[in-house]
Amino acid sequence: MAFNKCLRILVLLVVCAVMVQGANPFLSFLQRPTSAVKKQAVAGSTPVSYQGSAFLMGYYAGVTQALLEKKVLVPGVTPTAGLSGGAYTLTLAQLGWNGTDILSFWRAIVREGKTHLAHGAVGRLNALSVWALQEALPQDLSNVYSRMRIAVSQLDGSKTTLNNSASWIIDSWQSRDDLIANLLGTSYLPCYSGPTTYTIFRNQPVLDGAFSNGFKQMCPDGNVTNCIKVASWHVGPLGSATCDKRCGSDRLAAKCAVPERTTINTVLHKNDQFVDRWLLSEVQLRCPEADWKGMDPYPFPYYVPQASTLPDIYPGRFNPLPAWPPGSNTTLLACQWQNFAMAPPLDRMDDFFEMTYDLGYRDALAWHAAQQQ
Ligand SMILES: *[C@@H]1O[C@H](CO)[C@@H](O)[C@H](O)[C@H]1NC(C)=O
Ligand SMILES: *[C@@H]1O[C@H](CO)[C@@H](O)[C@H](O)[C@H]1NC(C)=O
Ligand SMILES: *[C@@H]1O[C@H](CO)[C@@H](O)[C@H](O)[C@H]1NC(C)=O
Ligand SMILES: *[C@@H]1O[C@H](CO)[C@@H](O)[C@H](O)[C@H]1NC(C)=O
């Protein structure tokens, strides 16, 4: 099992401070007058934040590999904040996993899903996460406990409906089980993750972090300037916005006029579709499939909510989207990339993981090169 191998190599290289930043007037007198003073201060001191990924998690694995190589992300040192797939990725990175190890984590989940959930993983993703996290996480999580923040969306237990969840940022954990419950909560999509509309974390009803968290919630002190923001779903200008039959019509992201596809959302998701009618006391064990089956894609998730702030590293900013299928001459359209978030090519998951990883890796290297100029 790939996990067991990974578990043995969790010893971390903590890279110490090497450079002092010029911007702080109190430190400037300490600096030698040399051109070696670079933009980045202490290696890995700038916070890093990842949004949710849905099935574009390979992108974050690739970004992580590049940020580790460049010592932008230093396990045990860099403050990180993430939600959903971004929180899983950053937890493993804090534990010393590199990008390809993290990709193996996702591959193992897909393999497990194919082996044991032949009838489809939709509605059962939570069970796969429980299995994978129990396999992957070591007993000693002290590095994670000290440097990590995880965002969930908290429902108001005093209200009778699921409307308007609130941002809840968790930055300390009582135990390994507590952290696992947090990770299950930050990635809980109603009816998609399990047969309930919400899950419980520390006796509170919660949902996937994306419903009420953007970078403003996740970056320390809400300072999105001093925070390296990574998003997998938002597609920049180098991604073709062409809208033709390749976009399909059965996924919401595919429809050309959907504003969420090309703009930054200033209003976070409100949980208002369908679920606002259901009484909280009734919904926990209720995913009325008849209400959402056949919709595009389902009431949840309507799209992959991403940010109220323009990210720093995202597809289509530094590089065009790659070819798909691999080896063809056909460049992916933005709509296709985004459709993959909710409907990955299940028959080509290995290629899909490679493709998304490779783009994330190249994008993060390009971002880093741009920072040095
Ligand atoms: C990541 O670490 C594993 C060992 O756990 C190693 O086999 C692999 O080559 C590393 N990946 C990269 C990109 O360095
Ligand atoms: C945010 O961070 C930037 C860069 O470190 C800094 O210049 C700015 O003063 C910070 N803003 C706030 C409100 O703290
Ligand atoms: C939930 O929110 C939506 C949109 O903000 C609103 O239209 C709806 O009336 C709300 N439902 C309840 C029960 O408050
Ligand atoms: C891709 O394009 C090149 C040159 O235009 C051509 O030689 C090659 O056969 C094409 N490959 C595929 C798979 O269509």
Atom of ligand 4 nearest to the CA of 329: 1
User: Exposed (0-12), middle (13-18) or buried (19+): which is 57, by Cβ within 10 Å?
Assistant: buried
Q: What is the pLDDT of residues 58-99, one digit of tens each?
A: 999 999 999 999 999 999 999 999 999 999 999 999 999 999
Residues with CB under 6 A from ligand 1: 6, 9, 65, 98-101
Give the orientation angle of helix 57-69 with respect to helix 99-116, to 10 degrees: 160
pLDDT given at position 294: 54
Q: What distance in Å separates the CA atoms of residue 297 and residue 338, rounded to the nearest whole number?
A: 12
Contact 128, 136 (CB under 8 A): no
The whole-angstrom separation of Cα 215 and Cα 205 is 22
Query: Counting atoms of ligand 3 from 1, which one is nearest the CA of 163?
Result: 1
Question: Beta strands 80-82 and 148-154: pairing type?
Answer: parallel
Q: Give the tens place of pLDDT for each residue, 81-92.
A: 999 999 999 999
The structural domains of the chain, with segments of one domain joined by +, span: 2-6+17-372
User: Tell me, what's the pLDDT at 103?
Assistant: 98
* Radius of gyration for the chain, computed over Cα atoms and rounded to the nearest angstrom: 20
Q: Is 223 in the pocket of ligand 2 (CB under 6 A)?
A: yes
**What value, to the nearest 5°, has the Cα angle with vertex 290 and ends 286 and 291?**
75
Write down the mean pLDDT value for the chain. Answer: 78
Helix, strand or coil, per DSSP, at residue 153: strand
For the whole model, what pTM was predicted? 0.83
Kindly give the parts of the chain with pLDDT less than 70.
Answer: 1-41, 117-122, 159-164, 249-308
What's the CA gap between 278 and 161, in Å, rounded? 6
Q: Using a 6 Å cutoff on CB, does residue 24 contact ligand 2?
A: no
The residue whose C-alpha atom lies closest to atom 3 belonging to ligand 3 is 272
Distance CA 169, CA 202 (A): 13
Nearest CA to ligand 3 atom 13: 276
| Four-residue CA torsion sign, 261, 267, 268, 274 | negative
| Residues linked to residue 313 through DSSP beta bridges, in sequence order | 230
CA of 269 to the centre of ligand 1 (A): 37
Give SS3 for 77.
Answer: coil
Residue whose structure tokens are 């590049």: 66
Tens of pLDDT, residues 143-185: 788 899 999 988 877 766 666 678 899 999 999 999 999 999 9
Number of Cβ within 10 Å of residue 158's Cβ equals: 6
CA-closest residue to ligand 4 atom 2: 329
Between the CA of 222 and the centroid of ligand 2 the distance, in Å, is: 10
pLDDT of residue 154: 87
Q: Which atom of ligand 4 is nearest to the CA of 327?
A: 13
Which ligand 4 atom sits closest to the C-alpha of 328? 13
Q: Look-up: residue for tokens 């400037």?
A: 28
Helix (H, G, I), strand (E, B) or coil at 160: coil
Instruction: Return the best residue to mutate from 7, 68, 100 for the ligand 1 pocket (most ligand atoms within 8 A of CB).
Output: 100
- Regarding the beta carbon of 273 and ligand 3, being less than 6 Å apart is answered no
